[in-house]
Amino acid sequence: MTLNSSIKKRIEDFLKSTIVDYQPVGGGCISNASKIKTQNGDVYFLKTNSSTSNDMFIKEAHGILELQKANAIKVPSVLLFDNEFVLIDYIASGKKQKDFSEDFGRKFAMLHKFNNDEYGFYEDNYIGSNPQLNIASDDEKSNWTKFYFNKRILYQLQLAEEFGNSTNELRNGISALENKINDIVTDNGEQPSLLHGDLWGGNYLIDEDGYACLIDPAVYYGNREADLAMTKLFGGFDSRFYSSYSEAYPLPDGYDYRENIYKLYQVLNHLNLFGGGYYLQAMSMVRYYI
């Protein structure tokens, strides 16, 4: 694999140094990832993909920049981005410190204490390669229940219809959920929190100091319980992470009951990204409430 000449020139002009090494890096399932080194010895991380949506890298960069505002947990610095690529700091990997999980939990809680007055975000972005709708209507901006059902659950059902992943069972189940949603999803009286939006074990790194660095966000402002639910879907977080989080920012009563409704969004998204293997899991989460 070689680096596109126009992208290479843009980066070299920006960095004012020649790229002397370009090495593909594994791990990405949507974009091509690489480690580049310049003549002056600096190392960077580059993502490219000619088949992605035109603004995917722009939205990713905006998400990282939003997370930086909280000054709560490490994220890479964004250096340069456009429709074709995003260039960020290269995060050298290290060995976990003994207090890695406790530190991660506390900092994640600090991130969630960074608030906004309204739900959503100033732009739509992506969850994986699927669109994530963040631009709220006037009644959704102050109503988490409406925002979450319309922009998360209902939109994923619409995608399932479009992609051929829906069934009468799923339609009827989500219709039944809609009738009960006000009893399930609440705003708990908290202000909208800044959410990573897609935090699973593959979306954080262990940096050279041995602590967590967040990558690949799908940010918006919402109920923090949605972020925590995602961390429980695919592993990568231990009991010390959750206990430290709860100590720093205790969760409202009833979180355990609401957890499945927040997992449902991510599982429906995986159904629409990867197909029917996630269907039964989605239906089990729907049936939990109906």
Tokens 């009468």, residue located: 168
Question: What per-residue confidence (pLDDT) applies to 28?
Answer: 53
Q: Note the helical H segments in the chain.
A: 5-15, 56-70, 100-112, 138-141, 144-148, 155-163, 168-184, 224-231, 239-248, 255-274, 279-287
CB 211 within 8 Å of CB 74: yes
pLDDT score for 274: 95
Give the model's pLDDT for residue 173: 98
pLDDT averaged per 10 residues in sequence order, the chain, 290 residues: 87 96 74 91 90 83 98 98 94 97 98 98 96 98 98 98 97 98 91 98 96 98 98 96 98 96 98 94 97
- List, in order of start, the domains of the chain with CATH numbers: 5-89 (3.30.200.20), 100-287 (3.90.1200.10)
13 catalytic residue (yes or no):
no
CB distance 240 to 101 below 8 Å? yes
SS3 readout for 39-99:
CCCCEEEEEECCCCCCCHHHHHHHHHHHHHHHCCCECCCEEEECCCEEEEECCCECCCCCC
Supply the pLDDT for residue 30.
64
Predicted local distance difference test score (pLDDT) of residue 231: 98
Rounded distance between C-alpha atoms, residue 122 and residue 131, angstroms: 14
Query: Which pLDDT does position 17 carry in this prediction?
Result: 96
Looking up tokens 């994986």, which residue turns up?
A: 128
Which DSSP letter does residue 149 get? Answer: I
End-to-end CA distance of the chain: 51
pTM of the predicted structure, to 2 decimals:
0.95
pLDDT value, residue 29: 54
Q: CB–CB of 52/31 below 8 Å? A: yes
Among 198, 209, 216, 238, which one carries the catalytic annotation? 198
Q: Which amino acid is at 11?
A: I
Residue with tokens 């506390």: 106
Contact partners, residue 158, CB within 8 Å, separation at least 6: none
